[in-house]
Amino acid sequence: MGRIRHVLGISGGKDSAALAIYMKQNYPELDIEYYTSDTGKELRDTYDLIEHLENFLGKEIIRLPVISDETLNPFDHFVKMYNGFLPGSMSRWCTKKLKLEPFEKFVGDDLVISYVGIRGDEDREGYISKKSNIQSVFPFRKNIFSEDVTSKFLSNSNIGNILKYYELLDLGEKKERIFEIINEQISVNFSQTQKLNNLLDLGIKEYNHAVFQFLQTTDYPLSKEVDFPLVNNEEVLVRDDIFNILEESGVGVPAYYKPIEFEINGKKATYARSRSGCFFCFYQQKIEWVWLYEQHPSLFAQAMEYEKDGYTWIQDESLADLIKPERIEGIKEEYIKRTERKKSKAQSPYLLDILEDAEGEGCASCFI
């Protein structure tokens, strides 16, 4: 199968962009292929970010062909194929056709390590390919390995092997406690998550080395690598770190994340977009649709053109109804109330923390 390929997808979002920067700065020895899959319906800010990243990386970000006929807009091609049926949370054909299938065609049958920008403060796994030749790694997280690797490594049937892997490491005074945790079987009273966190708390680097030794006995792509520099990584990066990476590198934060002030009935607030991806993404909150209408009216008009034959972007409301003056007023007032409730709890100054319920929705293939 040849060499192991290292790939990193750029969605146009803050996390994948920061990960590309982070990997270049910390692991320049890895020959990473950067790629993006263009739906044809991104904000201009997304394309600007990709250009800035290419300048920083000194490397081309490969544009994956979504359809063979490059004269057609990819999204429109599939809307026509689906007879006008728009994608939604229950039928995400856009993710499959515009993101996942082009990616899996891009890597083919090669052995691939895919780096994913899910942060250390997120509780989600992201896209895990069902193809055995693709292995996901999460450099920003405390546990850089995927759920499938973790469950196999920590399984009760593997306890004897885990002890052997750890025996080869210099554990110092932590050895006795680590071995106690390893020997305790996963049960209703001691979950896999508890066991994982206990081992990570006693040594991230040690855990990574043990898992890497385990992977040498499997068919995962990392089994073909003699060494892997990320096993020595002990950093856990959260949202604030992502913004710092983007700003300090000079690449900058995509403009659509930056808050814009508005006023309604004497009250002032700010709104922004919480995600990358298509400008008409159905995962947007209604305040984000209002943002699109007011900040990019021509794009909002394009989104409205898709709503026909009973298909709408929002399950319970058409875009024509959403932009009625009284409706916009109601959306903004409710948004202000919600942000005020969240501000009393939030520690971060970023508007994205106020929009965190939206950011947590969706699929990692589009938004990280």
pLDDT 10s digits, 3-19: 899 999 998 899 999 99
pLDDT of the residue at 157:
98
**Lowest-confidence pick of 110-124, 203-217, 344-358:** 344-358
Strand 112-115 relative to strand 32-37: parallel, antiparallel, unpaired?
A: unpaired
Residue 150 has pLDDT above 80, yes or no: yes
pLDDT tens for residues 23-73? Answer: 999 999 999 999 999 888 999 999 999 999 999 999 999 998 777 666 778
Mean pLDDT of the region 71-85: 87
Pure H helices in 59-128? 74-81, 93-95, 101-107
pLDDT of residue 89: 85
Q: What percent of the chain has pLDDT over 90?
A: 77
Torsion (CA) 186, 192, 196, 198 in degrees, nearest 10: -60
- How high is the pLDDT of residue 354? 44
CB-based contact 102:65 (threshold 8 Å): yes
Q: Give the pLDDT mean for 92-110.
A: 92
pLDDT higher than threshold 50 for residue 135: yes
- When pLDDT is cut at 50, 70 and 90, the band that residue 124 belongs to is confident
* pLDDT value for 126: 65
pLDDT top residue among 200 and 349: 200
Q: Quick check: 210 and 165 in contact, CB under 8 A? A: yes
Q: Which helix (H) or strand (E) holds 312?
A: none
Closest CA to 283 of 40, 61, 94: 94
Give the pLDDT band (50/70/90) at residue 212. Answer: very high
Query: What domains appear along the chain, each with residue ranges and CATH number?
Result: 5-145+233-249 (3.40.50.620), 149-223 (no CATH), 256-367 (no CATH)
Work out whether the CA dihedral 144, 150, 153, 156 comes out positive or negative. Answer: positive
pTM given for the model: 0.89
Which residues make Cβ contacts (< 8 Å) with residue 24, sequence separation at least 6?
32, 56, 57
Mean pLDDT value across residues 250-264: 94
The model's confidence at residue 365, banded by pLDDT at 50, 70 and 90, is: low
- The rounded mean pLDDT for the chain is 91
State the distance between the two ends of the chain, measured CA to CA, in whole angstroms: 29
Please list, in sequence order, all residues whose beta carbon lies within 8 angstroms of the beta carbon of residue 316, skipping any fewer than 6 positions away: none
pLDDT at 108 over 80: yes
Residue 335 confidence class, pLDDT cut points 50, 70, 90: very high
